[in-house]
Amino acid sequence: MTRFAKGVANLRSSQIRDLMSLATRPGIISFAGGMPGNDLFPLQELDTIYNNLTEKEKQVAMQYGPTCGLPSLLESLAAFLEKKGLKVGDNRLMITTGSLQAINILAHAFVDEGDDIIVENPSFIGAISAFKSYQANIISVPLKSDGIDIEALRQQLDSMPRKPKFLYITPSFHNPAGIVYSKENRKALIELMEGRDIPVIEDDAYSDLYFYEEDKEQLKTIQSMERKDLDVCFTGSFSKIIGPGLRLGWMLVPQHIYEKCELIKQSIDACSPSFTQVIADKFLRTDVIHSYLERVREEYKKRGLAMIECLKANLPSYVTFVEPRGGFYIWLQLPEGTDATEILKKAIDKGVVFVSGVTFDPHETRKNAIRVSYCNTAVDVIQKGIPVVCEAIKEVCGQ
Amino acid sequence: MTRFAKGVANLRSSQIRDLMSLATRPGIISFAGGMPGNDLFPLQELDTIYNNLTEKEKQVAMQYGPTCGLPSLLESLAAFLEKKGLKVGDNRLMITTGSLQAINILAHAFVDEGDDIIVENPSFIGAISAFKSYQANIISVPLKSDGIDIEALRQQLDSMPRKPKFLYITPSFHNPAGIVYSKENRKALIELMEGRDIPVIEDDAYSDLYFYEEDKEQLKTIQSMERKDLDVCFTGSFSKIIGPGLRLGWMLVPQHIYEKCELIKQSIDACSPSFTQVIADKFLRTDVIHSYLERVREEYKKRGLAMIECLKANLPSYVTFVEPRGGFYIWLQLPEGTDATEILKKAIDKGVVFVSGVTFDPHETRKNAIRVSYCNTAVDVIQKGIPVVCEAIKEVCGQ
């Protein structure tokens, strides 16, 4: 076994697995998962797409494809991303099995054992696992309500004896923090990072899931913003905008980084599933993706607002949170010294499950937070479950 | 960039990509790929399966699944493997995106930079890439016509100052060598490996594609054979028995190895595509897999026998090969000192492409061999293309 495999990382992994199996137990109310609602999948659209596939397209679906992805999907996805303002032309696109694989491949391309990297705290658990699997030395910088703490990041960068291999961030509808980087924060970040020869990995799985049209300008990705002398490796996913079961995401990265990533992808699984690539391509080309997105945005907004309202009505005043304006998550900040695991145990006894915040801390020490998701729970169930969470909080932390 | 990414491995990778893009050029006859024939995919069966999926099954298809695979597929696949004699009960099954991912995960679980591993020479290029990506020190042992060279392996093992992390082998219908390990060879291998605390990775993507029913006994996997004190990590794939576009394979490994592999899989892509897992499960549960396998076995046999016949009629006598009895490949052994790349260039000029043997040598030095595949070429095209290959050989090596 490798030094990594011998490590302790599997302890947390099995805890998460237990939690997830609990979360799907009949009768339990789950705010734990980050998966779209089963009831929201575009099944009718899927049927129409499947039944209109030609024999030739089905053959393509069953065959190996190029490592970088099927040419037709690369084309339609490029158009989709360009419409969002992304700079596709100067970069290369690669289809991956979810954006997690894109992040994993980038980690493999950049990290030798013991190399420093910088992430936000809290951060996406999947990315943390990927970075740990290559034995990165993870350094974290706190998040504020309007983005990454620029001053803390500056101090960190200026104090490091050797350059970190990259900075990994999730500027839009952060998982788990639920926040959005403000436009000013994005600009300040670019300014800070320019000319340092440290690439930024911008993870963007949620930016299409905004509640308010007027936020679109703020959600403009860092990859699409003016900058000089700064490599941005952009990752995205079909998981939240069609379905995770397709297992498709992408990276959009500068050519010199792409070449290494293609080689790594080739050694992992040769190519992504052609079958689901053919389906995703049709979603994009028929514009079904846009009507579907309108539909789910509406539904996630209903669920999100219901959860916000319910939390406001039931939370003790010492618990704070940033109201989400899109995405899947709300991050509840508990008083210093609280161990959210105690609250989780009580909540489970009462039939409700969520994820305790320590899961998203790369150093596994910050215990006073809770992530609740509204993506996979109907409004009436949210209204039933959130008071239970609040009750459990009060039982542990006081009224 | 990592030490790996900075390496030279991408040179060969881009050569292969160029070759593959050449291989799909209109008009060119290709014996290069290892993909099933487009004309052979079970499209009618697929339509029936898709159109009989319930709404609930389609929801499962669109959703995340467990890291190890969908429970229903794990069950049906376990039954399929048990029918082939594999020891499922004492082991754990995990669904992966192709058997290449299974091999990659095992490499990540076992190999720290610079660790020794042993492979056959020649060996599967995908596995070589995976092992190199973790910076393994690859040691190779020659293949004979009836299996791995047991004496060479024994000497290798006995002379090593530190234990290799594993032995990677492909006993049935070897890619690229086309051979099958004899029953005696398999037994001798088990005897040699027992008690050494070196796991064997048994890669078995082709054993269902035999030409002759009577060979089934010989094809019995090493995993299913009597042994003591020897861990076997078995990998398999749906790529050659349904379609590579599903991007599904599996590993069947002892529990203590499985735990590490699940953790790694979780950090790569969280889970394999549910969509294609639902489809594969139906292929297994409806027994369509068996009728389909009978059909393709018949067709691959026709193609294989046509290629053998054609080679016998046209090859100069100094070129030798083991007649395949299944699988996809024939391995042509050229005289010592020949550079098959020269032959490949001439063949391409004449409109035929194959893979030169050096590709499958982990040390990239043995140039005097050629791999020709019959899997993706109709009999009449084989009859047209093989004489061209033989002509190119004669032009380079003499009559």
In the three-class reduction of DSSP (H, G, I as helix; E, B as strand; rest coil), residue B299 is classed as: helix
Q: What is the pLDDT of residues A194-249, one digit of tens each?
A: 999 999 999 999 999 999 999 999 999 999 999 999 999 999 999 999 999 999 99
Considering only CA atoms, which of B322, B296, B215, B323 is closest in space to residue B35?
B296
Interface of B with A in 163-222 (CB under 8 A): none
Q: Closest chain A residue to B37 measured between Cα atoms?
A: A63
Average pLDDT along chain A:
95
B268 chain-A contacts, CB cut-off 8 A: 97, 100-101, 104, 130, 133, 268
Distance CA A141, CA A346 (A): 31
Tokens of B183: 């029953």
B5 touches chain A (CB under 8 A): yes
Q: What is the pLDDT of residues A252-293, one digit of tens each?
A: 999 999 999 999 999 999 999 999 999 999 999 998 999 999
A98 chain-B contacts, CB cut-off 8 A: 269-270
**Nearest beta carbon to residue B247 from set A46, A260, A273:** A273
Q: What is the pLDDT of residues B54-95, one digit of tens each?
A: 999 999 999 999 999 999 999 999 999 999 999 999 899 999
Tell me whether strands A369-373 and A167-169 are parallel, antiparallel or unpaired: unpaired
Q: What is the pLDDT of residues B359-381, one digit of tens each?
A: 999 999 999 999 999 999 999 99
User: How many CB pairs (< 8 A) connect A and B?
Assistant: 218
Band (B18; pLDDT cuts 50, 70, 90): low
Which pLDDT value is given to residue A11?
43
% chain B with pLDDT above 90: 92
B22 touches chain A (CB under 8 A): no
Q: Using the beta-carbon criterion (under 8 Å), do B260 and A5 form an inter-chain contact?
A: yes
A38 chain-B contacts, CB cut-off 8 A: 59, 62-63
Interface of A with B in 126-145 (CB under 8 A): 126, 129-130, 132-133
pLDDT at B8 over 50: no
Considering only CA atoms, which of B109, B70, B98, B173 is closest in space to residue A67?
B98
Interface of A with B in 27-46 (CB under 8 A): 33, 35-36, 38-39, 41, 43, 46
Distance CA B49, CA B163 (A): 48
Tell me the C-alpha to C-alpha distance, in Å, between residue A127 and each of A122, A123, A253, B274, B289.
11, 8, 17, 21, 37
Q: What is the pLDDT of residues A177-193, one digit of tens each?
A: 999 999 999 999 999 99
Q: Using the beta-carbon criterion (under 8 Å), do A10 and B260 form an inter-chain contact?
A: yes
DSSP string, A337-373: T--HHHHHHHHHHTTEE-EEGGGG-TTS---SEEEEE
Q: Using the beta-carbon criterion (under 8 Å), do B269 and A247 form an inter-chain contact?
A: yes
Q: What is the ipTM of this complex?
A: 0.95
DSSP string, A225-255: S--SS--EEEEEESTTTT-GGG--EEEEEEH
Band (B26; pLDDT cuts 50, 70, 90): confident
Q: Which letter does DSSP use for residue A60 in this model?
A: H
Whole-prediction pTM: 0.96
Band (B11; pLDDT cuts 50, 70, 90): very low
